[in-house]
Amino acid sequence: MKNMKKIAIVGSPNVGKSVLFGNLTGRYVIVSNYPGTTVEVTRGVAKIGGEEFEITDTPGMYSLLPITEEESVARRILIQEKPDIVLHVIDAKNLERMLPLTLQIIEAGMPTMLVLNMLDEAAAAGIEVDSALLGKELGISVIRTVCTDGTGMEELRKRITAYGTASENRV
């Protein structure tokens, strides 16, 4: 998997990170324990826009300031492996709880895209999110998804492809 662009999927537990990972990678899954820990990290390969990406599904985290072993592993992956894109997956019903990590990732200078997941559950709870305004305020791409049924996955793939092209043009 050398010389492939890297995508790290991060977020709190139970927001759909692993479902998103499965949607992106299909059957190409490699599960391993992170060196020196018992924390499981899942890696795979996704072909997006004609290019192969190494995808890492990190353990759940609430902050870049780790408290648990899982958060420490996720932070190490972000800091040491320097992914080309960080997909921060959040539960659309719980923006207030989840956006602080988004801000930490952005402030750390990591190339971030926000995956606003579980929109079906948010709609059922009467919650509407203006993703265009949110993206404008954060200064990053916000993609609306329901990972369990594949909603928004094509848009996510397009944004990943566009992001890669745009970052190459900035170099």
If one counts every other C-beta atom within 10 angstroms of the C-beta of residue 54, the result is 22
Ordered strands of the 85-91 beta sheet? 29-33, 40-48, 51-57, 5-10, 85-91, 112-117, 141-144
Give me the mean pLDDT over the 129-141 stretch. 96
Of 26-30, 108-112, 140-144, the least confident:
26-30
138 pLDDT above the threshold of 90 = yes
The residue type found at 8 is A
Mean pLDDT for all residues in the chain? 89
What number is the average pLDDT over the span 120-126?
96
Phi, psi of 5 (to 5 degrees): -70, 150
Q: What pTM, to 2 d.p., does this model score? A: 0.90
Percentage above 90 pLDDT, the chain: 78
Query: Which residues, including other chains, have CB under 8 Å from residue 128's CB and lie 6 or more apart?
Result: 122
**Mean pLDDT within 55-68:** 93
Q: What does the pLDDT read at residue 170?
A: 35
The model's confidence at residue 10, banded by pLDDT at 50, 70 and 90, is: very high
Q: pLDDT tens digits for 152-161? A: 999 999 999 9
The model's confidence at residue 166, banded by pLDDT at 50, 70 and 90, is low
Domain 5-170 belongs to what architecture? Answer: 3-Layer(aba) Sandwich (3.40)
Residue 164 pLDDT:
64
Measure the CA–CA gap between 114 and 144, rounded to whole angstroms: 9
Q: What is the pLDDT of residue 23?
A: 94
